[in-house]
Amino acid sequence: EPLLPGRHRSTEALIFLRVTLPFIAGFFVSYMFRAVNAVLGPTLALEFGLNAGRLGLLTSMYFLSFAVFQLPLGLLLDRFGPRRVNGTLLLVSVAGSILFATAHSAAEAIAARTLIGLGVSGSLMSTFLAFVLWYPAERLSTMNGVAFSAGALGAMTVSVPLELLLRVWPWREVFMLLAGVTLAVSLLMWLWVPERSAQPRGETIMGQIRGLGGLLRDPAFRRIAAALGTTQFALISMITLWIANWLRDVAGYGLAEVARGLLAVNVAMIVGYLGFGRAADWLVRRGYNVIFLIIGGVAAGSLSLAILALGVRVGGLLLWCVFVVGSTAMALTYSLLSRRYPKELVGRANAGVNVFCFTGIFAGQWGVGLMLDYWRQGAAGYTPQAYSFTLGVVWAIQVCGLLWLWLGRHLFMESVVPLKS
């Protein structure tokens, strides 16, 4: 099918090569940084003398800096466009990766990971904005699913392949390699991607800020923000760190088995993102609203998490995969926002909701570590009872956000909302 009405197939292919691939490469890199500690966690804990809480803090600082920068990121994206903003920020991650590779204390590692998070904080939002600028609305859910799948491929790259690489390379050299890959993607942004922006000519910074204020006053925006934050609190904090620990401590997996387990849940993530994306676009083309697809998918994932919280171990990896697939449905809220607001507000809308998303992930990664530290750690790790209690809390938080979204489902019957500044 044509990318846009009237476009030739060769034009579609060129846009895919010059726009889609470079931006999803940036998100691929950001997800490698995001998920690398799932495999490296035990090594880093030994290297820097970290308990579960401090390991959670080290990993989650990536997400805290991500969250803090989202509001200014939205303004920058809408004003300067996704290419220039993302190309510049990725250079910050290059510096952070080099600093992480040379860190000699936990404090230095935490500061370096914070810098990495800041540098890749524009990767997802710039990709979404680029898709809004280059693709028709009825393709957005599928394209966003492609982007999320590229991220999952990044996570897969730091699962089994990383475990194999660590047998011959020190972890510090791995981070130097990541710095080189990130630099290459930044150069691709500057030298290969064409420029396009939806920013109305002459709009001032104050006008942009008033537009952001209008978003925050929209009750549908607040419902999405809360639901996304609580779902990502559960999903991303689990998949980027704590599922690995559960597989090791509760299921009794060795390091290689943990890496294969992470590979499986990341494949499940790709299935979820692509499947829900295609299903959402199919519904949109037929005039249906995707809010019920979102709620149904997350509810199924939440049910699987509840079973794990009850202490069920049989088929544990399969239950984690179901949890991951179902929870990916919440990613459809980004395309829901893109269809709800005018193009000149999309950068701020997606970045604004990401404040809640990444604050939730930060709280989830660190909070899970703190809760586990309340239980005595044995030679084989934390007890199954510790994980049952912790997963029960995570489940309850996810369900609260989902219920609030369900109660406000009537707010999503309008497709485009003209916001007052």
SS (H, E, C) 246-313: HHHHCCCCCHHHHHHHHHHHHHHHHHHHHHHHHHHHHHHHCCCCCHHHHHHHHHHHHHHHHHHHCCCC
The dihedrals phi and psi of 105, each to the nearest 5 degrees, come to: -150, 165
Would you state the pLDDT for residue 5?
A: 45
- Which region holds residue 197: left if phi is over 0, alpha if psi is between -120 and 50, else beta? beta
Cα–chain center distance at 5: 31
DSSP helix/strand/coil, 380: coil
pLDDT value of position 199: 55
Q: pLDDT tens string for the chain (421 positions)? A: 334 444 556 677 888 899 999 999 999 999 999 999 989 999 999 999 999 999 999 999 999 998 889 878 877 887 888 999 999 999 999 999 999 999 999 999 999 999 999 999 999 889 988 998 888 877 888 888 899 899 999 999 999 999 999 999 999 999 999 999 999 999 999 999 998 765 544 455 566 566 667 778 889 899 999 999 999 999 988 998 899 999 999 999 998 999 999 999 999 999 999 999 999 989 988 888 899 999 999 999 999 999 999 999 999 999 999 999 999 999 999 888 877 887 777 767 877 888 889 899 899 989 999 999 888 777 668 889 999 999 999 999 999 999 999 999 988 875 544 444 4
Give the Å distances, CA to CA, from 371 to 33, 54, 59, 77, 391. Answer: 24, 12, 16, 37, 10
Separation CA 71–CA 74 (nearest Å): 5
